[in-house]
């Protein structure tokens, strides 16, 4: 499964601008994320993917890179991780143990599931780990350049932040023997040996070889250095980076004035909010994981949902009540199934298996959907997962088993019981939804029982609720025999 190359308009315009300033390439589209906690920022990756696809659609060569900041120091402990991990503050994520012991490191624990989701989405992306880039020498040249231009970099940081930087500030963070990357002071640069001499927090002198990943550039400098080291021509940024005085302001100047590298094309995206919860944030635990979302919708629908019409605008994701409408609109636009999602949810929850579901859909008039069993089975699984995990209570249905049904029926009065038994005698498997609806209604009128009370009896013995989906099609769709059995059991 691969994504559609026909890019949305905003991505095409962005690609045009990138080509105008950076030429025909080859292009390098980068998205960078720190695996310091659960990675949820799918929107950023999708923005980058859309622009990469728009460049590819112009026939250009594109390398699409996910830069995982695995060498970054741990700054705060992610929700769910033991507080004892504070002992690793300042250590590279790639060198801290996995809090749950299931992966090679802290970084891998959060990176691997995200990587798997990207693969599941059919994304054509290269995942690079920054500690490996440093270790293999990809950053050696830019690190030397940064160290040689320490004064200029320091000035840029001061001018943009308005803060006085320490006299001995260095763009490079060597790793002390303790594993800590922070708080060490660079004393001397040995450019011919790719080394720095430093003094750690305890006053011990050490030497770090920057061609072997024995340290890293500070993150603001690294942003600009990365553009040059990887030849980046496009990178999206969230609005927090692009605010005045933000990291892109310093990186832009460092790139032009120090690294002499043209600033890559940019797209500023806004946040995704989750209805009822607020802005997505891993530190607050407000996250939607791609792997969970792929349980309720296909990859391209997920792309559409996360990006919205224009990712420069914030959108609120509604995975509850508003979700069926999104799915229906998506299917209408892309030529997907014509079965309304709410109906599919009903069928998925009541049918015993896929063949039975196909039968219900056929009786409901959805012949085409019933015929394509392979895609029906996938649609049903999305609907079933949504119903179980995210549907509002009103749409959550399960047909009661005989014992539960008998128990629920105990709350009915005599009038309702005899109504159900009368209905049971009239039901026949060849009645369609309309016919059943009509029969349920006329039987109520004929027995002078209020329709609302009569229908409540039907829902009570089938679903354990006083109301539910339109009764006629619902009852007609249920497997033959089940309804009669439940209705007659109420008499016992
Ligand atoms: Zn793990």
415 plus 484 within the same structural domain: yes
* Cα 133 to averaged position of ligand 1 atoms, centre (Å): 22
**Quick check: is 422 in a domain?**
yes
Q: What is the pLDDT of residues 22-71, one digit of tens each?
A: 999 899 999 988 888 887 788 999 999 999 999 999 999 999 999 999 99
Q: What is the pLDDT of residues 136-195, one digit of tens each?
A: 999 999 999 999 999 999 999 999 988 899 999 999 999 999 999 999 999 999 999 999
**Quick check: is 356 in a domain?**
yes
From residue 165, alpha-carbon distances to 3, 45, 246, 255, 458 in Å are: 46, 33, 16, 19, 75
* Cα 98 to averaged position of ligand 1 atoms, centre (Å): 5
Tally of domains within the chain: 2
Q: Is the pLDDT of residue 2 over 50?
A: no
CB 154 within 8 A of CB 186: no
**Quick check: is 472 in a domain?**
yes
Q: What is the pLDDT of residues 246-294, one digit of tens each?
A: 788 999 999 999 999 999 999 999 888 888 777 767 667 667 788 889 9
Residue 181, φ and ψ in degrees, nearest 5: -95, -10
* Cα 108 to averaged position of ligand 1 atoms, centre (Å): 7
55, 2, 65, 62: which is closest to 31 by C-alpha?
Answer: 65
- Higher-confidence residue of 483 and 352: namely 483
Count of CB atoms situated within 10 Å of the CB of 383: 25
Task: State the average pLDDT for the chain.
Answer: 91
* Cα 162 to averaged position of ligand 1 atoms, centre (Å): 41
Range of the domain at 378: 335-395
* Cα 77 to averaged position of ligand 1 atoms, centre (Å): 15
Provide the percentage of residues in the chain whose pLDDT is more than 70. 96
Of 166-175, 414-423, 468-477, which gets the smallest average pLDDT?
Answer: 468-477
Q: What is the pLDDT of residue 185?
A: 96
Strand partners, 171: none
402, 398, 445, 447: which is closest to 421 by C-alpha?
Answer: 447
Query: Considering 368, 395, 422, which residue would you say is the last residue of a domain?
Result: 395
Cα distance between residue 299 and residue 315, in whole Å: 18
What's the whole-model pTM score?
A: 0.85
Q: What is the pLDDT of residue 206?
A: 97
CATH number of the domain that residue 407 is part of: 1.10.10.350
Burial group, residue 5, by CB count within 10 angstroms (0-12, 13-18, 19+): exposed
Q: What is the pLDDT of residue 17?
A: 96
**Quick check: is 363 in a domain?**
yes
CB 117 within 8 A of CB 294: yes
Largest CA distance in the chain: 100
């Amino acid at each position: 499964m691969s994504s559609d190359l026909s890019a949305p308009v905003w991505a095409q315009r962005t690609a045009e601008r990138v080509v105008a300033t950076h030429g025909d390439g080859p292009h390098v589209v980068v998205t960078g994320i720190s695996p310091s906690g659960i990675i949820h920022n799918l929107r950023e990756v999708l923005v980058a993917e859309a622009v990469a696809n728009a460049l590819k659609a112009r026939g250009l060569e594109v390398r699409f890179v996910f830069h995982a900041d695995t060498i970054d120091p741990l700054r705060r402990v992610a929700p769910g991780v033991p507080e004892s991990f504070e002992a690793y503050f300042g250590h590279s994520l790639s060198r801290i143990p996995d809090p749950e012991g299931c992966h090679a490191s802290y970084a891998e624990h959060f990176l691997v599931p995200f990587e798997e989701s990207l693969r599941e989405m059919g994304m054509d992306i290269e995942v690079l780990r920054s500690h490996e880039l440093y270790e293999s020498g990809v950053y050696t040249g830019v690190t030397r350049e940064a160290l040689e231009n320490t004064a200029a970099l320091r000035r840029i940081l001061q001018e943009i932040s308005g803060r006085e930087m320490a006299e001995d500030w260095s763009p490079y963070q060597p790793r002390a023997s303790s594993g800590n990357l922070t708080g060490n002071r660079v004393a001397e640069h040995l450019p011919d040996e790719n080394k720095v001499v430093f003094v750690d927090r305890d006053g011990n002198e050490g030497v770090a070889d920057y061609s072997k990943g024995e340290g890293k550039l500070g993150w603001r400098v690294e942003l600009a250095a990365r553009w040059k080291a990887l030849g980046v021509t496009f990178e999206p940024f969230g609005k927090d980076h692009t605010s005045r005085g933000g990291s892109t302001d310093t990186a832009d100047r460092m790139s032009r004035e120090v690294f002499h590298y043209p600033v890559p094309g940019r797209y500023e995206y806004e946040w995704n909010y989750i209805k009822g919860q607020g802005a997505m944030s891993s530190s607050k635990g407000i996250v939607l994981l791609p792997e969970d979302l792929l349980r309720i919708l296909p990859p391209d629908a997920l792309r559409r949902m996360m990006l919205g019409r224009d990712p420069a605008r914030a959108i609120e994701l509604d995975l509850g009540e508003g979700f069926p409408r999104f799915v229906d609109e998506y299917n209408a636009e892309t030529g997907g199934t014509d079965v309304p999602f709410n109906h599919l949810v009903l069928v998925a929850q009541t049918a015993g298996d896929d063949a039975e579901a196909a039968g219900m859909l056929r009786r409901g008039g959805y012949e085409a959907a019933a015929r394509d069993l392979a895609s029906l089975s996938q649609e049903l699984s999305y609907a079933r997962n949504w119903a179980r995990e995210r549907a509002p209570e009103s749409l959550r249905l399960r047909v009661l088993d005989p014992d539960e049904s008998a128990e629920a029926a105990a709350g009915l009065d005599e009038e309702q019981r005899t109504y159900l038994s009368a209905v049971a005698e009239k039901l026949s498997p060849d009645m369609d939804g309309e016919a059943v609806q009509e029969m349920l209604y006329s039987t109520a009128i004929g027995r002078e029982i209020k329709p609302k009370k009569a229908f409540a009896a039907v829902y009570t013995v089938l679903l354990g609720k006083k109301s539910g989906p339109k009764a006629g099609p619902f009852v007609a769709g249920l497997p033959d025999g089940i309804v009669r059995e439940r209705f007659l059991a109420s008499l016992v």
